[in-house]
Structure 1
Amino acid sequence: MRVVLTGGGTGGHIYPALAIASELQRLDPKTSFLYVGTEKGLEASLVPREGIPFEAIDISGFKRKLTWENARTVWRFIRAVSRSKQILREWRPDIVVGTGGYVCGPVVYAASRLGIPTLIHEQNVVPGLTNRFLARFATRIAVSFAESLAYFPAKKTVYTGNPRATAVLHGNAEAARRSLSLPADKKIVLVVGGSRGARAINEATLALAESMADFPDCHFVYITGEVHYESIQAALRQRAGGPDNLTLLPYVHNMPDLLAATHVSVNRAGASTLAELTALGIPAILVPSPYVTNNHQEKNARGLERAGAAIVLLEKELNGTTLKQALASIVGDSEKWSHMHRQSRIMGKPDAAQQIVQLIRGTS
Structure 2
Amino acid sequence: MATKNTYKIVLSGGGTGGHIYPAIAIANELKHRMPDAEFLFVGAKDRMEMEKIPQAGYKIEGLWISGIQRQLTMKNLMFPFKLMSSLYNARKIVKSFKPDVAIGTGGFASGPLLYMASQNGIPSLIQEQNSFPGITNKLLAKHVQKICVAYDGLERFFQADKIIKTGNPVRQGLLDINSKTEEAKKLFDLKEGKLTLLVLGGSLGARRINELIEKELDFFDTQNVQVIWQCGKLYYQQYKIYNNTVNVQVHEFLNNMDFAYAAADIVISRAGASSVSELCIVGKPVIFIPSPNVAEDHQTKNAMAIVDNNAAMIIKEDELEVDFKNKFSQLVASPQKQKELGENIKKIALVNATKDIADEVEKLLKVKS
TM-score (norm 1): 0.91
Q: 2:16 is matched with which residue: 10, 17, 39?
A: 10
Partner in structure 1 of residue 283 of structure 2 = 281
CA distance in 2, matches of 1:69, 1:288: 26
CA distance in 1, matches of 2:301, 2:256: 28
Partner in structure 2 of residue 59 of structure 1 = 65
Measured after TM superposition, the shift of residue 4 of structure 1 is 1.1
Which moved further from structure 2: 276-285 or 162-171? 162-171
CA distance in 2, matches of 1:175, 1:87: 44
Which moved further from structure 2: 29-38 or 189-198? 29-38
CA distance in 1, matches of 2:245, 2:259: 25
**Which letter maps to 1:249?**
H
Partner in structure 2 of residue 182 of structure 1 = 190
Measured after TM superposition, the shift of residue 5 of structure 1 is 1.2
Measured after TM superposition, the shift of residue 282 of structure 1 is 1.7
> What is the 5 A alignment of 1:172-211?
172-183=180-191, 186-211=194-219
4+ aligned runs moved over 6 Å, structure 1: 65-68
Q: 1:214 is matched with which residue: 205, 222, 231?
A: 222
Q: 1:75 is matched with which residue: 67, 81, 86?
A: 81
Partner in structure 1 of residue 150 of structure 2 = 144
Which moved further from structure 2: 2-11 or 131-140? 2-11
Partner in structure 2 of residue 46 of structure 1 = 52
Q: Secondary structure at the match of 2:15?
A: coil
Unaligned runs of 5+ in 1: none
Structure 1 residues 210-248: Cα deviation after superposition (integer angstroms, max 9, x where no partner) = 1222233x43101111211121123x38xxx730x2221
**Percent identity among equivalent residues?**
34
Answer yes or no: is 1:230 the counterpart of 2:237. yes
> What is the 5 A alignment of 1:235-274?
236=242, 242-243=245-246, 245-274=247-276
Partner in structure 1 of residue 170 of structure 2 = 164
Unaligned runs of 5+ in 2: 1-6
Measured after TM superposition, the shift of residue 279 of structure 1 is 1.1
**Which letter maps to 1:349?**
L
Number of residue-to-residue matches in the alignment: 357
CA distance in 1, matches of 2:12, 2:157: 21
Q: Is the 8 A contact 1:7 1:103 kept in 2?
A: yes
CA distance in 1, matches of 2:30, 2:176: 16
Q: Secondary structure at the match of 1:318?
A: helix
Partner in structure 1 of residue 4 of structure 2 = none
CA distance in 1, matches of 2:234, 2:81: 32
Q: 1:68 to 1:42 in 2, by over 3 A?
A: closer
Partner in structure 2 of residue 326 of structure 1 = 327
Which moved further from structure 2: 324-333 or 13-22? 324-333
